[in-house]
Amino acid sequence: MYSYEWPVPGILYGVLVTSNLAKGRITAVDSAAAEKEPGVIAVLTPFNAMKLPGGAKPDTGDRVVQVFQDDQILYSNQPVALAVADTFERALHAAALVRVSAQPLPFTVRMADELHAAFPHDIRNAAGSRPADQLRGDVETALRQAEHKVEAVYETPPETHNPLEPHATLAVWSGDRLTVYDATQGIFGVRKKLAKAFALPPGNVRVITKYVGGGFGCKGSAWSHVVIAALAAKQLGRPVKIALTRPQMFGIVGGRPQTQQKISLAADKDGRLIALRHESISTTSRFDDFIEPAALVSRHQYQCENVETKHRLVRLDIGTPTFMRAPGESSGSFALESAIDELAHELGIDPVDFRLKNYAETDPTEGKPFSSKSLRRCYELGAERFGWQKRTRRPELMLRAGKLVGTGMATASYPANYTKASALARMRPDGTVLVQSGAVDIGGGTYTVMAQVAAETLGVPYEKVRFDLGDTEMPEAPRSGGSTTAASVASAVEAACRALRQKLDAMGGRPRQPVEAFGEVAPSEERKKYALHSFGAQFAEVEVDPDLGMVRVTRLVGAFAAGRILNATLARSQFMGGMVWGIGMALHEHSVYDEKLGRIMTRDLADYHVPSHKDVVIVDPIFIPVEKDEIVDPAGVKGIGEIGITGAAAAIANAVFNATGKRVRALPITPDKLL
């Protein structure tokens, strides 16, 4: 049961009307024609919508939303009205009849126009808060004196999430109590946002999310349509549900921001890094802050005495960007791992050997030991599976059926995040077990994995355990993002089941009445003494048509050391999903703006390209077995939802260089950049 599908009596259907201006002020909304249509209940606009009791901009540390509280247009595709009717078709028709008049204002969606106003911004994400800039050693002197160096600018375009299930929300009021069925990655964040907006105690807001048809970060925040659905339901006194259309997914609910990254790398004659500078600029909206922490990867990846990283933001007249699978590490690893490949090529050193020469035994930035690493084994086993020893080092030498063939590789890494979580375990007299936690399953198999963890901890058959999630009336769990769910919730489930087992042992076995136990976990002080990351190695083979410039990825091999694997089948799917997304990042994805209109023009799956079946040939992830890492979290899990995409785009770009001799530093790699 997806959020839009819950059977609630008396439902009304809402369809958003969105702005076709990038910036302006609404002067009038003509809804007369729409309101005359059969079945149309209302058209809500900034001129007749109720005012939020909690204020126009409920500040919960989350995204700033637009919910008809003023006449400002801040970006193209912003919600400016809502047509509500008794059927979806009538609401869709009514929305098409609404006419919005607005005064246009000057705008820009071009990063180049605002580079002069770039400003530093601290990094806040699942791993905590860190400074925008960091300097260790004397980078400037090392670069100046270096025998071998590479200085280049790498660019990643704005990208848009396209999960199969669009964003959708159903809001139901009962007096001063609100129940929301929402397509979200974090039910407690939605509860917090709605409680603030409507000036309610959090206990008066219940959020339910049983299944999510893909999230990848875009459903990690409560966006405008969530608050609009609750507002409309309150104002009209009926349940209201809203699903975004595919074109409305572009701009309203975030996306990966554009980045411009300058890398300066230097090495001595033996191939050891002596300087690394990584400067990243990413885009955000005028009214909110989101930073893509692209340079973070350079703080931890390689041993180097002189390292400088910088993060800057540029404000544009766009919707606020947001988390997109491996935010920061995916875009940052493209730049860093491409530059590493360039320097290895200049030195005449094999790319794997070059990385091994600069292998970090301890965290280069903090000097802490890694809780576990096994990256050497990733290089070794990945190269063996891929057949790296057969690689042709010189470009343009290998042909297959008239196509240029190239191979490339890159390092993958992602923080091993872990945060506070709780769970409840209950055994019934018949021996069946119910375990609950307010987590969300966004497709990774949380229902299955947590039932496995509970069964193993309790020593009962898997078939006897049912795991339930996705309800704010359950024990609190973190948002399903940042590769935190398995590590955090599995640890909480283990804690609850151990506590239940102790109770059962004290009772002498199966209870006559239901017995339950609560478990809660949180990061320990001991954890702070270590560097905590997952690592991997990506290997890619490409074929390039020399006449058409078309690139096809024929093989991807990824070797990953990601702690304890809870379910090999589900883990394989997670790794494959990330690696396939790496193909999309490298070759396809680009949210293209019309700079004169300020609109994203690639607003559906005909124009916004993602890999199809014919683009994906062999994707081969392998797991590196490691001893249980009990430092990273009690369950020994590092999280695998995001590491699969890190390094993948760089490995493909490096393979394209190996095939063609042309270095493409701006994604996606399209034929025009190779011909």
Domains of the chain: 367-414+529-675 (3.30.365.10), 421-522 (3.30.365.10)
Question: Can you tell me the distance from the alpha carbon of 307 to that of 133, in angstroms, rounded to the nearest whole number?
Answer: 11
Q: What is the pLDDT of residue 398?
A: 72
526: buried, middle or exposed (CB in 10 Å: 19+, 13-18, 0-12)?
A: exposed
Which tokens sit at 436? 């609950």
Q: What is the DSSP string of 104-159?
A: E------HHHHGGG-EE--EEETTEEE-S-EEES-HHHHHHH-SEEEEEEEEE--B
Which bin fits 663, alpha (ψ -120 to 50), beta or left (φ > 0)? beta
Alpha carbon distance 68, 235 (integer Å): 13
List, for the chain, all residue ranges whose pLDDT scores fall below the cut of 50.
none
Q: pLDDT at position 26, please?
A: 98
pLDDT in tens, 160-209: 999 999 999 999 999 999 999 999 999 999 999 999 999 999 999 999 99
Give the integer Cα–Cα distance in Å for 15 and 248. 10
> What are the pLDDT digits (tens) for 457-494?
999 999 999 999 999 999 999 999 999 999 999 999 99
Query: Contact 487/523 with Cβ under 8 angstroms?
Result: no
Contacts of 524 (CB under 8 A, 6+ apart): none
Which conformational region is residue 68 in: left (phi greater than 0), alpha (psi within -120 to 50 degrees), or beta?
Answer: left
Q: Indicate the pTM of the whole model.
A: 0.97
Q: What is the DSSP letter of 534?
A: E
The counts of H helices and E strands in the chain are 14, 29
pLDDT at 126 (0 to 100)? 67
Q: Are 180 and 208 in contact (CB under 8 A)?
A: yes
Helix, strand or coil, per DSSP, at residue 215:
coil
Whole-number Å distance between alpha carbons of 647 and 579: 9
CA distance 108 to 598: 7
Of the candidates 159, 494, 543, 642, the residue annotated as catalytic is 642
pLDDT at position 406: 95
Chain-centre distance for alpha carbon 261: 20
Active site residue 642: yes
pLDDT of residue 58: 74
Q: State the pLDDT at residue 396.
A: 60
In angstroms, the Cα distances linking 641 to 567, 580, 646, 653 are 13, 13, 11, 22
